[in-house]
């Protein structure tokens, strides 16, 4: 007991550090699967793109949107997902480590909980983990540049991976031969390879593979009923908000012009 009395809580606490994110900026949390190259092999994901694995990622992202109300938009590809919090969010008083850790742990738990729903025939062989990081973007322009960067990355990787796996699966090349073959090739040459050698028109491939997935809250307008009380109107409006998953171009301004309420 004498020992316990010696502990000075203020002193112990003084070692903690401030990690509040800049006010009035868009907070982006990006999570990424740890060693999913291996995870996808062990769980025999279809290459280059396992559709069910992507659907599982999307379903977890929707669950995160529903859980963390301040998230206004999310974009995902492969084993990663970016979550955008509204500019003036006070989630965890904007403390970086809490925001990242709660997002990444919720996502990971969801991934494990939903595994059977998406892979009823496959056993989950070991617990997957995700890393997470957080960055603040001070303007909507830079935020859209960030999202465009992720979508460009999706496109480049998908094009490379499609060629790579075609060479391995259809031409019997080893992985290192395929890698060597593709080294230094331009986007145009890759598209030509796909057409000439495999009869694949890149632009005809599944849109989710080429453009990734985005999810956001969609509000549905309803005809107001004169008999409704103020309270019941509120609850109807709440129930008519739904998370939508789409696959489309977010680099061109069209999507953002069609959905101005996401960023306002
Ligand atoms: P790190 O731990 O550094 O993130 P990683 O092995 O997860 O390493 P990434 O760059 O994140 O490397 O790439 C993820 C890898 O996971 C891809 O290269 C791909 O092999 C695999 N992968 C992820 N999702 C899918 C999917 N839906 N279908 C097939 N393979 C996938
Ligand atoms: P926060 O999200 O702020 O951490 P919290 O509800 O998790 O909120 P904590 O201060 O972390 O609050 O306290 C954890 C609470 O969880 C305890 O007050 C207790 O009610 C409950 N709890 C945790 N572990 C046990 C346990 N082994 N047996 C019974 N109750 C438990
Ligand atoms: Mg990583
Ligand atoms: Mg990864
Ligand atoms: Mg990744
Ligand atoms: Mg707690």
| Tens digit of each residue's pLDDT (9 = 90 or more) over 8-63 | 999 999 999 989 999 999 999 999 999 999 999 999 999 999 999 999 999 999 99
- Domain membership of residue 197 (yes or no) is no
- The structure's pTM equals 0.93
| The predicted structure's pLDDT at residue 232 | 60
- Residue 235 falls within a domain, yes or no? yes
Over residues 130-178, the pLDDT tens digits come to 999 999 999 999 999 999 999 999 999 999 999 999 999 999 999 999 9
- Return the ligand 1 atom nearest residue 52 CA: 27
64 C-alpha to ligand 6 centroid (Å): 18
Residue 247 within any structural domain of the chain: yes
CA of 158 to the centre of ligand 5 (A): 12
Given the cut 0.90, state whether the ipTM is greater than it.
yes
Q: Which pLDDT band holds residue 237 (cuts at 50, 70, 90)?
A: low
Ligand 1 in reach of 34 Cβ (< 6 A): yes
Residue 171 lies in a domain: no
Look up residue 88 and give its two tokens.
Answer: 């003036």
pLDDT at 216 over 90: yes
Q: Is residue 231 pLDDT above 70, yes or no?
A: no
Residue 2 resides in a domain: no
CA of 236 to the centre of ligand 1 (A): 41
pLDDT score recorded for residue 238: 57
Question: In this structure, how many other beta carbons lie within 10 angstroms of the beta carbon of residue 123?
Answer: 8
Q: Is residue 199 part of a domain?
A: no
Q: Is residue 26 part of a domain?
A: yes
* Cα 236 to ligand 6 centroid, rounded to whole Å: 33
- Determine the Cα–Cα distance for residues 83 and 218; give it in Å rounded to an integer: 16
Binning pLDDT at 50, 70 and 90, where does residue 245 land?
Answer: very high
Please determine, for residue 234, whether its predicted confidence score (pLDDT) is greater than 60.
no
Strand partners, 76: 81, 213
Q: What is the pLDDT of residue 167?
A: 98
Check pocket membership of 161 for ligand 1, CB cut-off 6 A: no
- pLDDT of 236: 58
Question: Looking at residue 87, which CATH number applies to its domain?
Answer: 3.30.70.3000
In angstroms, the CA 29 to CA 71 distance is 10
Q: What is the pLDDT of residue 240?
A: 85
CB 39 within 8 A of CB 112: no
Q: Kindly state the average pLDDT of the residues 172-195.
A: 97
* Domain span including residue 216: 21-152+211-262
Instruction: Please give the tally of structural domains in the chain.
Output: 1
* Average pLDDT over all residues of the chain: 94
Mutate to test the pocket of ligand 1, among 60, 79, 179 (most ligand atoms within 8 A of CB): 79
Q: Phi and psi at residue 244, in whole multiples of 5°?
A: -110, 135
In a domain, 194, yes or no: no
Q: Which of 53-57, 100-104, 208-212, 227-231 has the lowest mean pLDDT?
A: 227-231
């Amino acid at each position: 007991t004498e020992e316990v009395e010696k502990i000075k809580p203020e002193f112990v606490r003084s070692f903690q550090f401030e990690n509040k994110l800049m006010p009035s900026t868009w907070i982006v949390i990006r999570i990424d699967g740890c060693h999913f190259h291996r995870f996808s092999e062990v769980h025999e994901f279809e290459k280059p793109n396992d559709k069910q694995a992507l659907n599982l990622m999307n379903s977890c992202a929707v669950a995160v949107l529903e859980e963390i109300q301040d998230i206004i938009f999310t974009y995902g590809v492969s084993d990663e997902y970016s979550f955008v919090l509204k500019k003036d969010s006070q989630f965890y008083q904007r403390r970086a480590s809490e925001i990242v850790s709660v997002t990444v742990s919720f996502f990971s738990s969801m991934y494990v909980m939903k595994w059977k729903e998406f892979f009823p025939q496959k056993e989950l062989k070991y617990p997957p983990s995700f890393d997470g990081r957080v960055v603040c973007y001070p303007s909507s322009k830079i935020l859209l540049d960030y999202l465009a960067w992720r979508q460009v990355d999706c496109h480049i990787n998908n094009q490379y991976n499609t060629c790579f796996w075609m060479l391995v699966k259809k031409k019997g090349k080893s992985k290192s031969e395929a890698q060597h073959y593709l080294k230094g090739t331009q986007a145009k040459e890759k598209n030509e390879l796909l057409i000439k050698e495999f009869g694949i028109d890149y632009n005809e491939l599944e849109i989710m593979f080429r453009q990734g997935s985005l999810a956001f809250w969609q509000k549905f307008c309803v005809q107001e009923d004169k008999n409704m009380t103020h309270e019941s109107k509120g609850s109807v409006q709440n129930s008519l908000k739904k998370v939508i998953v789409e696959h489309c171009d977010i680099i061109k301004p069209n999507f953002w012009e069609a959905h101005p309420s996401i960023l306002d």
